[in-house]
Amino acid sequence: MRRSTIYLAVAIAFSLLISGCSSSILKPAPKPTTAPNSVEGLKLTQVGNQVIVSFKDSSEFKATNSFEVSWKGSATGSYRGKGTESGSYVIRTPGMTSGIVAISVHLTNEIGVGPDSSDQISMQGPSRVTHLSLEQGSGTSVDVTWEQGTAGAVPSYYLVQWAGSGSGSEKVTETSYSIDATAGRTIRVSVTPVISGFKSPIPTTSALKIEEPWNSSPDGSQLDWRKAGGNCQGYANYGCVRIQVHANSDCLNGIYAEANHLDSSNNITGYSNDSLGSLGRGQTAILEMDFTESGGYYQITHLTCHNF
Protein backbone atom coordinates (compact mmCIF):
# COMPACT_ATOMS: atom_id res chain seq x y z
CA MET A 1 0.00 0.00 0.00
CA ARG A 2 2.83 2.35 0.81
CA ARG A 3 4.68 1.57 -2.46
CA SER A 4 1.60 2.20 -4.64
CA THR A 5 1.13 5.57 -2.96
CA ILE A 6 4.69 6.57 -3.88
CA TYR A 7 4.17 5.49 -7.49
CA LEU A 8 1.00 7.58 -7.69
CA ALA A 9 2.74 10.70 -6.32
CA VAL A 10 5.62 10.35 -8.80
CA ALA A 11 3.19 9.94 -11.68
CA ILE A 12 1.26 13.09 -10.71
CA ALA A 13 4.48 15.14 -10.35
CA PHE A 14 5.75 13.99 -13.74
CA SER A 15 2.43 14.88 -15.33
CA LEU A 16 2.55 18.39 -13.85
CA LEU A 17 6.14 18.86 -15.01
CA ILE A 18 5.27 17.93 -18.58
CA SER A 19 2.24 20.21 -18.52
CA GLY A 20 4.32 23.20 -17.27
CA CYS A 21 7.02 22.71 -19.88
CA SER A 22 4.57 22.55 -22.71
CA SER A 23 2.88 25.81 -21.61
CA SER A 24 6.23 27.69 -21.53
CA ILE A 25 7.24 26.82 -25.07
CA LEU A 26 7.21 29.98 -27.22
CA LYS A 27 4.94 29.90 -30.17
CA PRO A 28 6.37 31.16 -33.44
CA ALA A 29 5.32 34.69 -34.44
CA PRO A 30 2.49 34.70 -36.97
CA LYS A 31 3.69 35.13 -40.52
CA PRO A 32 2.28 37.75 -42.88
CA THR A 33 -0.17 36.64 -45.52
CA THR A 34 0.08 39.72 -47.77
CA ALA A 35 2.66 42.28 -48.82
CA PRO A 36 2.91 45.29 -46.46
CA ASN A 37 1.02 48.54 -46.92
CA SER A 38 2.66 51.91 -47.47
CA VAL A 39 4.27 53.74 -44.54
CA GLU A 40 2.45 56.49 -42.64
CA GLY A 41 3.46 60.02 -41.66
CA LEU A 42 6.50 60.41 -43.94
CA LYS A 43 8.36 63.57 -42.89
CA LEU A 44 11.60 65.11 -44.21
CA THR A 45 13.63 67.62 -42.16
CA GLN A 46 16.96 69.22 -43.06
CA VAL A 47 19.50 69.25 -40.22
CA GLY A 48 22.82 70.69 -41.34
CA ASN A 49 23.73 68.92 -44.58
CA GLN A 50 21.67 65.84 -43.74
CA VAL A 51 18.01 64.90 -44.04
CA ILE A 52 16.13 63.30 -41.16
CA VAL A 53 13.58 60.86 -42.61
CA SER A 54 10.87 59.79 -40.17
CA PHE A 55 7.91 57.49 -40.80
CA LYS A 56 5.75 54.84 -39.14
CA ASP A 57 4.87 51.23 -40.00
CA SER A 58 1.38 50.50 -38.66
CA SER A 59 0.93 47.08 -40.23
CA GLU A 60 -0.08 44.04 -38.19
CA PHE A 61 3.18 42.18 -38.85
CA LYS A 62 5.61 45.12 -38.60
CA ALA A 63 8.22 43.14 -36.66
CA THR A 64 8.78 40.94 -39.74
CA ASN A 65 9.00 43.85 -42.18
CA SER A 66 12.10 45.47 -43.64
CA PHE A 67 12.25 48.97 -45.10
CA GLU A 68 14.24 50.78 -47.77
CA VAL A 69 14.85 54.52 -47.91
CA SER A 70 16.24 55.80 -51.23
CA TRP A 71 16.96 59.29 -52.56
CA LYS A 72 17.94 60.98 -55.80
CA GLY A 73 18.44 64.48 -57.15
CA SER A 74 21.35 66.54 -55.84
CA ALA A 75 22.41 63.35 -54.04
CA THR A 76 21.74 59.65 -54.73
CA GLY A 77 21.77 56.73 -52.32
CA SER A 78 19.75 54.28 -50.27
CA TYR A 79 19.54 52.68 -46.85
CA ARG A 80 17.95 49.41 -45.76
CA GLY A 81 16.86 48.41 -42.28
CA LYS A 82 14.88 45.81 -40.35
CA GLY A 83 11.49 46.25 -38.73
CA THR A 84 10.82 46.70 -35.02
CA GLU A 85 7.89 46.09 -32.75
CA SER A 86 7.37 49.83 -32.26
CA GLY A 87 7.18 50.48 -35.97
CA SER A 88 8.58 54.05 -35.64
CA TYR A 89 11.71 55.02 -37.58
CA VAL A 90 14.08 58.00 -37.77
CA ILE A 91 16.76 57.71 -40.47
CA ARG A 92 19.64 60.20 -40.91
CA THR A 93 20.95 60.36 -44.47
CA PRO A 94 24.61 61.04 -45.39
CA GLY A 95 25.72 64.60 -46.14
CA MET A 96 24.14 66.32 -49.14
CA THR A 97 24.60 69.54 -51.12
CA SER A 98 22.14 72.25 -52.11
CA GLY A 99 19.31 71.36 -54.48
CA ILE A 100 16.14 69.27 -54.63
CA VAL A 101 16.28 65.76 -53.17
CA ALA A 102 13.43 63.28 -53.79
CA ILE A 103 13.11 60.61 -51.09
CA SER A 104 10.97 57.46 -51.20
CA VAL A 105 10.29 54.76 -48.63
CA HIS A 106 8.72 51.29 -48.96
CA LEU A 107 8.32 48.18 -46.80
CA THR A 108 9.05 44.58 -47.74
CA ASN A 109 8.35 41.15 -46.25
CA GLU A 110 8.56 37.53 -47.40
CA ILE A 111 5.36 37.93 -49.39
CA GLY A 112 6.34 40.99 -51.41
CA VAL A 113 7.12 44.70 -51.67
CA GLY A 114 4.77 47.43 -50.48
CA PRO A 115 4.01 50.64 -52.40
CA ASP A 116 6.36 53.63 -52.32
CA SER A 117 5.66 56.70 -50.21
CA SER A 118 7.62 59.69 -51.49
CA ASP A 119 8.27 63.36 -50.86
CA GLN A 120 10.98 65.90 -51.72
CA ILE A 121 12.95 68.55 -49.89
CA SER A 122 14.92 71.59 -51.06
CA MET A 123 18.33 71.50 -49.41
CA GLN A 124 19.42 75.06 -48.57
CA GLY A 125 22.53 76.64 -47.17
CA PRO A 126 22.32 79.06 -44.23
CA SER A 127 21.55 82.76 -44.62
CA ARG A 128 23.66 85.57 -43.16
CA VAL A 129 23.28 86.25 -39.45
CA THR A 130 21.42 89.38 -38.36
CA HIS A 131 21.59 91.88 -35.46
CA LEU A 132 25.31 91.36 -34.85
CA SER A 133 26.18 93.30 -31.69
CA LEU A 134 29.47 94.02 -29.91
CA GLU A 135 29.37 95.26 -26.33
CA GLN A 136 32.22 95.81 -23.93
CA GLY A 137 31.60 93.75 -20.83
CA SER A 138 33.50 93.66 -17.58
CA GLY A 139 37.08 94.78 -17.97
CA THR A 140 38.02 94.78 -21.65
CA SER A 141 36.12 91.67 -22.72
CA VAL A 142 33.76 92.00 -25.69
CA ASP A 143 30.41 90.21 -25.69
CA VAL A 144 29.46 89.27 -29.26
CA THR A 145 25.82 88.33 -29.94
CA TRP A 146 23.82 87.74 -33.14
CA GLU A 147 20.65 86.14 -34.44
CA GLN A 148 20.24 83.28 -36.87
CA GLY A 149 19.09 84.32 -40.34
CA THR A 150 15.38 83.99 -41.01
CA ALA A 151 15.89 82.10 -44.31
CA GLY A 152 17.87 79.00 -45.14
CA ALA A 153 18.77 76.04 -42.99
CA VAL A 154 19.99 75.91 -39.39
CA PRO A 155 23.82 76.22 -39.46
CA SER A 156 26.01 73.37 -38.28
CA TYR A 157 28.12 76.01 -36.51
CA TYR A 158 29.13 79.69 -36.65
CA LEU A 159 32.66 80.78 -37.52
CA VAL A 160 33.61 83.78 -35.37
CA GLN A 161 36.74 85.65 -36.50
CA TRP A 162 38.33 88.80 -35.08
CA ALA A 163 41.30 91.13 -35.65
CA GLY A 164 42.60 94.54 -34.59
CA SER A 165 42.75 93.76 -30.87
CA GLY A 166 44.42 90.41 -31.01
CA SER A 167 43.27 87.98 -33.69
CA GLY A 168 41.71 84.54 -33.84
CA SER A 169 38.80 82.39 -34.93
CA GLU A 170 36.47 79.97 -33.19
CA LYS A 171 33.69 77.57 -34.20
CA VAL A 172 30.65 77.95 -31.93
CA THR A 173 27.16 76.45 -31.95
CA GLU A 174 25.51 79.14 -29.79
CA THR A 175 24.61 82.65 -30.98
CA SER A 176 27.04 84.41 -28.64
CA TYR A 177 30.76 84.50 -27.88
CA SER A 178 33.12 86.49 -25.62
CA ILE A 179 36.52 87.81 -26.76
CA ASP A 180 39.34 89.22 -24.62
CA ALA A 181 40.44 92.53 -26.15
CA THR A 182 42.84 95.39 -25.37
CA ALA A 183 41.88 98.86 -24.18
CA GLY A 184 42.45 101.58 -26.76
CA ARG A 185 42.25 99.18 -29.72
CA THR A 186 39.43 98.73 -32.21
CA ILE A 187 38.30 95.13 -32.61
CA ARG A 188 36.70 93.95 -35.86
CA VAL A 189 34.52 90.84 -35.66
CA SER A 190 32.86 88.76 -38.39
CA VAL A 191 30.36 85.91 -37.97
CA THR A 192 29.68 83.37 -40.74
CA PRO A 193 27.11 80.54 -40.50
CA VAL A 194 28.50 77.29 -41.90
CA ILE A 195 27.06 74.00 -43.15
CA SER A 196 29.57 71.49 -44.53
CA GLY A 197 29.05 70.91 -48.24
CA PHE A 198 27.36 74.29 -48.77
CA LYS A 199 28.90 77.55 -49.92
CA SER A 200 29.02 79.85 -46.91
CA PRO A 201 27.25 83.22 -47.22
CA ILE A 202 28.99 86.58 -46.97
CA PRO A 203 30.02 87.13 -43.32
CA THR A 204 28.34 89.78 -41.18
CA THR A 205 30.87 92.19 -39.64
CA SER A 206 31.01 94.88 -36.96
CA ALA A 207 33.66 96.86 -35.07
CA LEU A 208 34.03 98.36 -31.60
CA LYS A 209 36.67 100.58 -29.99
CA ILE A 210 37.64 99.15 -26.60
CA GLU A 211 37.46 101.71 -23.79
CA GLU A 212 39.46 101.60 -20.61
CA PRO A 213 37.75 99.35 -18.06
CA TRP A 214 35.65 100.89 -15.29
CA ASN A 215 37.23 101.16 -11.83
CA SER A 216 35.45 101.48 -8.51
CA SER A 217 35.75 104.68 -6.53
CA PRO A 218 38.65 104.54 -4.04
CA ASP A 219 36.19 105.95 -1.47
CA GLY A 220 33.68 103.15 -2.02
CA SER A 221 31.05 105.60 -3.29
CA GLN A 222 28.41 104.92 -5.97
CA LEU A 223 30.76 106.21 -8.69
CA ASP A 224 32.88 104.33 -11.23
CA TRP A 225 35.68 105.85 -13.28
CA ARG A 226 37.98 105.06 -16.16
CA LYS A 227 40.73 106.85 -18.05
CA ALA A 228 39.35 109.07 -20.80
CA GLY A 229 40.99 110.06 -24.06
CA GLY A 230 41.15 113.53 -25.51
CA ASN A 231 43.33 116.59 -24.96
CA CYS A 232 43.62 118.49 -21.71
CA GLN A 233 42.44 122.09 -21.60
CA GLY A 234 44.75 123.26 -18.81
CA TYR A 235 48.45 122.56 -18.39
CA ALA A 236 48.66 120.60 -21.60
CA ASN A 237 52.39 121.27 -21.89
CA TYR A 238 53.02 119.63 -18.54
CA GLY A 239 50.66 116.91 -17.41
CA CYS A 240 47.06 116.12 -16.66
CA VAL A 241 44.71 113.21 -16.17
CA ARG A 242 41.24 113.01 -17.71
CA ILE A 243 38.75 110.52 -16.31
CA GLN A 244 35.22 109.59 -17.27
CA VAL A 245 32.90 109.23 -14.29
CA HIS A 246 29.73 107.12 -14.21
CA ALA A 247 27.05 107.52 -11.54
CA ASN A 248 25.33 104.36 -10.29
CA SER A 249 22.82 106.52 -8.40
CA ASP A 250 21.92 110.22 -8.30
CA CYS A 251 24.70 112.61 -7.22
CA LEU A 252 22.50 115.65 -6.68
CA ASN A 253 25.02 117.91 -4.98
CA GLY A 254 28.04 117.40 -7.19
CA ILE A 255 31.13 115.23 -7.57
CA TYR A 256 34.61 115.79 -6.21
CA ALA A 257 37.83 114.01 -7.29
CA GLU A 258 41.52 114.15 -6.31
CA ALA A 259 44.61 112.70 -7.95
CA ASN A 260 48.31 112.49 -7.11
CA HIS A 261 51.22 112.65 -9.50
CA LEU A 262 53.93 110.05 -8.75
CA ASP A 263 57.43 109.64 -10.13
CA SER A 264 59.03 106.38 -11.17
CA SER A 265 59.94 105.66 -7.53
CA ASN A 266 56.31 106.10 -6.40
CA ASN A 267 57.09 109.39 -4.67
CA ILE A 268 54.22 111.90 -4.67
CA THR A 269 55.42 114.91 -6.62
CA GLY A 270 52.16 116.69 -7.41
CA TYR A 271 48.50 117.03 -6.54
CA SER A 272 45.34 118.15 -8.36
CA ASN A 273 41.57 118.03 -8.04
CA ASP A 274 38.36 118.78 -9.93
CA SER A 275 34.63 118.91 -9.28
CA LEU A 276 31.39 119.30 -11.19
CA GLY A 277 27.68 119.77 -10.58
CA SER A 278 24.95 117.18 -10.17
CA LEU A 279 25.09 113.94 -12.10
CA GLY A 280 22.00 111.74 -12.47
CA ARG A 281 21.92 108.00 -12.19
CA GLY A 282 23.32 106.36 -15.31
CA GLN A 283 24.92 109.58 -16.57
CA THR A 284 28.61 110.11 -17.29
CA ALA A 285 30.86 113.16 -17.27
CA ILE A 286 34.53 114.08 -17.78
CA LEU A 287 36.75 115.35 -14.99
CA GLU A 288 40.16 116.90 -15.75
CA MET A 289 42.94 117.32 -13.23
CA ASP A 290 45.96 119.38 -14.33
CA PHE A 291 49.51 119.12 -13.00
CA THR A 292 52.62 121.23 -13.34
CA GLU A 293 54.62 118.00 -13.36
CA SER A 294 55.01 115.81 -16.42
CA GLY A 295 56.04 112.20 -16.89
CA GLY A 296 55.52 109.59 -14.19
CA TYR A 297 51.95 108.52 -13.65
CA TYR A 298 48.76 109.56 -11.87
CA GLN A 299 46.80 107.94 -9.09
CA ILE A 300 43.14 108.68 -8.33
CA THR A 301 42.96 109.05 -4.55
CA HIS A 302 39.38 110.31 -3.99
CA LEU A 303 36.15 110.22 -5.94
CA THR A 304 33.05 111.10 -3.93
CA CYS A 305 29.43 112.04 -4.48
CA HIS A 306 28.19 114.87 -2.24
CA ASN A 307 24.59 113.93 -1.34
CA PHE A 308 23.88 116.12 1.69
> Which residues does residue 88 pair with via DSSP β-bridges, in sequence order?
56
Residue ranges per structural domain of the chain: 40-123, 130-209, 215-305
Res. 12 pLDDT band, cuts 50 70 90: very low
What does the pLDDT read at residue 237?
A: 58
Tell me the pLDDT tens digit for each residue of 73-98: 888 999 999 888 888 999 999 988 88
Sequence-separated (6 or more) residues with CB below 8 Å from residue 126 = 148, 149, 152, 153, 154, 155, 193, 194, 195, 198, 200, 201
Residue 306 pLDDT greater than 80, yes or no: no
pLDDT value for 111: 93
Backbone phi and psi for residue 163, each to the nearest 5 degrees, phi listed first: -155, 170
So what's the pLDDT on residue 1?
47
Please check the confidence at residue 243 and state whether its pLDDT lies above 80: yes
> How is domain 40-123 classified at the architecture level of CATH?
Sandwich (2.60)
* 40-123 and 215-305 agree in CATH topology: yes
Q: Which of 44, 27, 39 is nearest to 87 (CA)?
A: 39
What's the mean pLDDT in 210-220? Answer: 86
- For the domain made up of 215-305, give the CATH fold: Immunoglobulin-like (2.60.40)
Amino acid at 146: W
Compare 20 and 294 and report the one with higher pLDDT: 294
Can you give the pTM of this predicted structure? 0.63
**pLDDT, tens digit (0-9, with 9 covering 90-100), for 30-65:** 788 889 999 999 999 998 899 999 999 988 888 889
pLDDT in tens, 95-114: 888 899 999 999 999 999 99
Separation between Cα atoms, residue 196 and residue 96, nearest integer Å: 9
Given 2.60.40.10, 2.40.50.140, 3.20.20.140, 3.40.190.10, which CATH number is that of 130-209? 2.60.40.10
pLDDT tens track for 160-199: 999 998 899 999 999 999 999 998 899 999 999 999 888 8
